[in-house]
Amino acid sequence: MISVQNVRMRLKSGGLEIEILRDVSLEVPSGQICAVVGPSGSGKSTLLGLIAGLDTPTAGRIFLDGTEITRLSEDEMARVRRRKVGYIFQSFHLIPTLTALENVSVPLELNGDPQAKSKAEELLFEVGLNDRKDHYPVQLSGGEQQRVAVARAFSCRPPVLLADEPTGNLDTTTGAEVIALLLRLNREHRSTLVLVTHDPALAAHVDRVVTLRDGRITGDEGRVEK
């Protein structure tokens, strides 16, 4: 489902070239839940962004569901993301001028789904926010905003789901609720899930834990083929 092959990522900073990822290779089979962990600055979020096609690696190849995304134009990559990728950000990234229902509807509408509103309402019900669907992000708690973000990520039933520190801005109790929700929906929708986390409670619920340090994979534990 996800294939990262000999990926390197270099960035220029202050006239110097910094290597963020160093020859990283990773295969994530369909249906697997894989956590990427490691200290700050190890390259975790960079790797996730490359898998999502939000940036292009300096070298190497990345495949999503059989499509090599490293060779696609921006427009082609945008179409692949709409069909194949759901992304959950640490800071929610909801559109402030849209209600919860409208935020969840956006990916469906971009895909031309005539049932966008009804499907968005169904997802908000699944995440326990049916009574908050007409509220704007500023009227929602952090946990509620992340629930909306989770619903939005699942709205087009993508085969690949990516989550960058999904509990990072939440308290322990709310974070545990979001973890349970994310894992339940992932099981029901049968997505392949890759998440970046510092949260040991979240890492404890996955099939596999990949450790990054200084831009290299230094550990790969609990690998389960599905």
> What is the per-residue pLDDT across 118-173, written as a single tens digit (0 to 9) for each?
999 999 998 999 999 999 999 999 999 999 999 999 998 899 999 998 888 888 88
Q: Can you tell me the distance from the alpha carbon of 14 to that of 166, in angstroms, rounded to the nearest whole number?
A: 31
> What is the per-residue pLDDT across 26-60, written as a single tens digit (0 to 9) for each?
999 999 999 999 988 899 999 999 999 999 999 99
Q: How confident is the model at residue 223 (pLDDT cuts 50, 70, 90)?
A: low
Q: Can you tell me the distance from the alpha carbon of 128 to that of 196, in angstroms, rounded to the nearest whole number?
A: 24
- The answer for residues whose C-beta is within 8 angstroms of residue 191's C-beta and 6 or more apart is 31, 86, 154, 157, 158, 159, 160, 161
* pTM of the shown model: 0.90
> What is the per-residue pLDDT across 206-219, written as a single tens digit (0 to 9) for each?
899 999 999 999 99
Instruction: Write down the pLDDT at residue 226.
Output: 45
Task: Give the angle subtended at the CA of 120 by the CAs of 119 and 124, to the nearest 5°.
Answer: 120
Residues of 175-193 as b/e, b for ≥16 C-beta within 10 angstroms? bebbbebbbebbeeeebbb
Mean pLDDT, range 3-22, rounded to an integer? 90
> What is the per-residue pLDDT across 14-25, written as a single tens digit (0 to 9) for each?
778 899 999 999
Q: Can you tell me the distance from the alpha carbon of 32 to that of 187, in angstroms, rounded to the nearest whole number?
A: 10
Where do the domains of the chain lie, and which CATH numbers do they carry?
2-91+159-221 (3.40.50.300)
Instruction: Write down the pLDDT at residue 225.
Output: 52
pLDDT of residue 90 exceeding 70, the answer is: yes
Instruction: Write down the pLDDT at residue 224.
Output: 52
Name the strands in the sheet holding 16-28, side by side, starting at the edge strand that comes first in the sequence: 16-28, 2-13, 59-64, 67-68
